[in-house]
Amino acid sequence: MKKTLITAVAALSVGIVTPASAFEPESDQTIKLMMADWSSMLINTEILNIILSTYGYDVEKVIADDSARYPGFESGDLTIALETWQTTQDAAFTASVATGKVLDMGELGPQAKEDWWYPSYMEEQCPGLPDWKALRECAEAFAAPETAPKGRYLSGPVSWGGFDEERVEALGLPFEVVHSGTDAAMFAELRAAYERKAPIILWVYKPHWAPSVYDGKFVDFPKYEPACYEDASWGVNPDAKYDCGKPEGWIKKMAWAEGEEIWPCAYDIVRNFTMDGDEVGALVYEVDVEGRGVEEVAMEWAKENEAKWRGWAACAEK
């Protein structure tokens, strides 16, 4: 059975070439794990890669666009994704599952929150915060040379979605939305601004290390309801949708439906795969702040938590 160098080394590094039961995978077809452009997804996916590779599965990691993943899963070009965030992907995920070609594999564990966030020191320049209406009056405090007199809001990569441009227009906020090219670049800019106490307001999400390490708050927008995204008459602006904050909720795993017949044990492992939010934030901190490699951090977790993930793989341990 073919293996990439990474997965073969991963299995050897954990100290397990074959499991005690000498488990044989149900198929030699390749399981394609979706990789996306934020650190927790990279780390969790690498941990799953190590686990599946240890049990002899042929695994390939495939980079895919977050919002455009669904045709790939419906066709089988992608097999498994460990992070689908309700905050941005609820409607697309629900529609994809409804086709019968994609499986809802259950919640990963952490509860998701992501929205506009600012360091607490900005309240001196915008004392009405965290109320969103304060941003109408003090946007210039968040301005950059290229946006002045409008404020600058640093959003995530375009592929994340999130409707920030629509939110700015619907709520009448004098801000320009600037999209970061990558997750790492966005949080690097936060670190640099925080150290200088420079103006910044940006997309922050949880679970993540930033809200734990830095003193700051999420903006209090009108609370999300599904009607906010579907019915313009809902909310503070009767003529526009998206006049509210982003939804909060689950982070779910998803999979190509036909794959369960090919790799039933692997799918059991994925369903059992769960992580704690604080645990995920700590792993991301090791990568983003301490500068360690994703593979190194994932391998360390796998070595320290072997009993846990072997419990997830009861179907292969019989």
Please state the domain extents for the chain: 29-110+250-317, 112-230
**Class assignment of domain 112-230?**
alpha beta
| Strand blocks (E) in the chain | 31-35, 59-63, 80-85, 102-119, 151-155, 175-179, 202-206, 216-218, 249-256
| Strand blocks (E) in 131-232 | 151-155, 175-179, 202-206, 216-218
Predicted confidence at residue 212, as pLDDT, reads 85
As averages over each run of 10 residues, the pLDDT of the chain (318 residues) reads 38 46 89 93 97 96 90 97 91 95 97 95 96 97 96 94 95 97 91 96 92 94 94 96 94 98 98 94 91 96 96 92
Alpha helices in 26-157 (DSSP H): 39-54, 70-75, 86-98, 134-137
CB atoms within 10 A of CB 110: 22
Predicted confidence at residue 11, as pLDDT, reads 45
Sign of CA dihedral 186, 192, 197, 199: negative
Predicted confidence at residue 19, as pLDDT, reads 53
Predicted confidence at residue 7, as pLDDT, reads 40
Predicted confidence at residue 136, as pLDDT, reads 96
Would you put residue 46 in left (φ > 0), alpha (ψ -120 to 50) or beta? alpha
Predicted confidence at residue 142, as pLDDT, reads 98
Omega before 130 within 30 of 0, i.e. cis? yes
* CB half-sphere exposure, 157, CA atoms < 13 A: 14
Query: In terms of pTM, does the model score above 0.75?
Result: yes
Whether residue 132 contacts residue 244, with contact meaning beta carbons closer than 8 Å, is answered with: no
Q: Which of 235, 171, 158 is nearest to 203 (CA)?
A: 158
Fold of 29-110+250-317: D-Maltodextrin-Binding Protein; domain 2 (3.40.190)
